[in-house]
Amino acid sequence: DVKVTQSSRYLVKRTGEKVFLECVQDMDHENMFWYRQDPGLGLRLIYFSYDVKMKEKGDIPEGYSVSREKKERFSLILESASTSQTSMYLCASSSSQGLTSTDTQYFGPGTRLTVL
């Protein structure tokens, strides 16, 4: 079974702090994704990566950055956390030959981040 793990299930941070969310997948998938999930808005794509050291902006990248130094690991960084970034963050991975949205995504359990 594909396994996508996220470093924390719950996280509480203060405004202005730098926050790291870590995601690891064990299936050698090329593509990795970060979404945020908010009630009534569904999932919104923040960033994705289709290869090591490659990244692409999603629909809502403002206030976030990402890092992919190894194929299995994709980190989401909040440079200066704000209360508007309180949300559920979901990581996903998928396999494909190149960047494509065609393949099934496998999701981690999510990190619920609260910024005070």
Partner 1 sequence: AQSVTQPDIHITVSEGASLELRCNYSYGATPYLFWYVQSPGQGLQLLLKYFSGDTLVQGIKGFEAEFKRSQSSFNLRKPSVHWSDAAEYFCAAGLSFGAGTTVTVRA
Spatial CA neighbour of 108 closest among 35, 1, 36, 4: 4
Q: Which one-letter amino acid corresponds to residue 71?
A: K
Q: How far is the CB of 63 from partner 1 (least distance, A)?
A: 19
Alpha carbon distance 64, 85 (integer Å): 10
Among residues 44, 63, 67, 72, the one that binds partner 1 under rule CB under 8 A: 44
Beta-carbon contacts of 53 under 8 Å, excluding residues fewer than 6 positions away, are: 68, 69
Judged by CB under 8 A, the stretch of 21-29, 63-71, 72-80, 100-108 that binds partner 1 is: 100-108
Among residues 17, 70, 104, 116, the one that binds partner 1 under rule CB under 8 A: 104
Which residues in this chain contact partner 1 in the complex, by CB under 8 A? 4, 33, 35, 40-45, 48, 58, 90, 92, 101-102, 104-110
